[in-house]
C-alpha cells in the first residue's frame, strides 16, 4: 500500500527536481542546526524530545512530506514497545514527529560517531546498539533491557537496516526480548512513503505523502526463547500483511534463541 503522491510531488518533474532537492537539503540542515542548538540549551529529556518533535514535524510539512497518522489511539498510555518496518533514513524523523516525547529510539551504534547527528541523538536519550562486536553488542543489549524494565517506552526498527527495493527483511529478536522482560505490549507500526521520499538508491529527497499506521498491540506470552520468537513472528506477520510489500526473508522458525542484535 503506497500513499498517493502529493500535488507538489506531481509538479516536480525533472526540471524542478534539482531545485526542490536543494531546498529540502538546505531546509534539513538549517532546522537540524536549530534543533541541535535548542537541545543543547533546553533542560530535561522530555522537553528536548518535545522540541525535536516540533522541529521534525515542521520539516516534514515545509518539505512537502505531510504525514497522515492512522489509529494513533492504539498506542497505550502506559509503557509499550513500538516496532516498525524500516525503509529510509527518514523513518526516524517521521516517528519523532508523530510520537509523544516519552518514547526513546534504539539505534545502530554507527550513528553514535556521526558528527552533529550523534550528539543530537544522544541529547534525545537514544540507545545505541553494537551490531558487529558480539561482546559490545551483549553489553548494549543488557543496558537496553534495563531501560525497558525501568518502565521506558522504546521504538525499534528490528530489521536493523533497509534495502533500496520494497520488502520486509528478517526481524532481530531484541525488541521482543525487551517487551517480554518488561511485560509490556508491542505495538506494530507500518510506515509508508519514506522509501520514495528519501530513496536509499540515490538519497535525493522527493515530496510525497507519508503514512504511519499503528496496529493492534500484542502482548508477550512469556520470556522464554520460544515465547519471544513467537511474539516476533506474530508482530512481523501483522506488519507484513498491512505493508503490502514482498516478504524478502522469512523469520527462521527453527531458531528459537533470542539473538543479541536489538536492531
pLDDT score of 251:
42
Higher-scoring residue by pLDDT: 2, 233: 233
Q: Is the dihedral of CA 254, 260, 262, 263 positive or negative?
A: negative
Pairing assessment for the beta strands 103-108 and 127-129 based on DSSP bridges: parallel
- Other Cβ atoms less than 10 A from the Cβ of 183: the count is 13
Q: 237: which residues sit within 8 A by CB, 6+ positions away?
A: none
Q: Average the pLDDT over each of 28-37, 49-58, 130-139, 240-249 and give the range with the smallest value.
A: 130-139
pLDDT per position as a tens digit, 9-46: 454 456 678 889 899 999 999 999 999 899 999 999 99
pTM of the model: 0.83
Render pLDDT for 128-170 as a digit per residue (tens, 0 to 9). Answer: 776 655 555 566 666 676 766 677 899 999 998 899 899 999 9
User: Is 245 in contact with 168 (CB distance < 8 Å)?
Assistant: yes
- pLDDT at residue 124, as a whole number: 86
Q: What is the pLDDT of residue 100?
A: 95
Strand-pairing partners, residue 187, are 82
Contact 72, 145 (CB under 8 A): no
Q: What is the CATH number of domain 7-243?
A: 3.40.1130
Q: Is 168 left (phi over 0), alpha (psi -120 to 50) or beta?
A: beta
Amino acid at each position: 500500500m503506497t500513499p498517493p503522491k502529493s500535488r507538489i510531488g506531481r509538479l516536480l518533474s525533472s526540471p524542478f527536481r534539482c531545485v526542490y532537492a536543494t531546498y529540502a537539503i538546505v531546509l534539513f540542515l538549517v532546522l537540524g542546526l536549530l534543533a541541535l542548538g535548542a537541545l543543547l540549551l533546553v533542560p530535561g529529556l522530555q522537553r528536548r524530545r518535545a522540541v525535536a518533535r516540533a522541529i521534525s514535524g515542521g520539516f516534514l510539512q515545509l518539505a512537502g512530506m505531510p504525514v497522515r497518522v492512522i489509529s494513533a489511539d492504539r498506542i497505550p498510555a502506559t509503557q509499550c514497545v513500538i516496532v516498525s518496518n524500516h525503509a529510509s533514513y527518514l523513518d526516524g524523523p517521521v516517528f519523532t514527529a508523530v510520537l509523544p516525547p516519552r518514547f526513546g529510539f534504539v539505534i545502530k551504534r554507527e550513528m553514535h560517531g556521526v558528527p552533529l547527528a550523534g550528539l543530537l541523538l544522544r541529547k534525545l536519550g537514544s540507545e545505541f546498539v553494537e551490531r558487529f562486536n558480539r561482546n559490545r553488542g551483549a553489553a548494549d543489549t543488557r543496558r537496553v533491557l534495563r531501560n525497558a524494565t525501568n518502565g521506558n517506552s522504546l521504538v525499534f526498527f528490528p530489521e536493523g537496516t533497509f534495502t533500496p527495493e520494497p520488502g520486509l527483511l528478517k526481524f532481530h529478536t531484541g525488541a521482543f526480548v525487551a517487551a517480554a522482560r518488561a511485560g509490556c505490549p508491542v505495538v506494530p507500526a507500518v510506515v509508508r512513503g519514506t522509501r520514495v521520499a528519501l530513496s536509499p538508491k540515490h538519497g535525493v529527497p522527493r515530496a510525497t505523502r507519508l503514512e504511519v499506521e499503528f496496529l493492534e498491540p500484542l502482548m508477550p506470552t512469556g520470556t522464554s526463547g520460544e515465547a519471544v520468537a513467537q511474539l516476533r513472528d506474530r508482530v512481523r506477520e501483522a506488519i507484513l500483511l498491512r505493508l503490502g510489500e514482498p516478504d524478502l526473508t522469512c523469520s527462521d522458525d527453527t531458531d528459537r534463541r533470542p539473538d543479541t542484535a536489538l536492531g
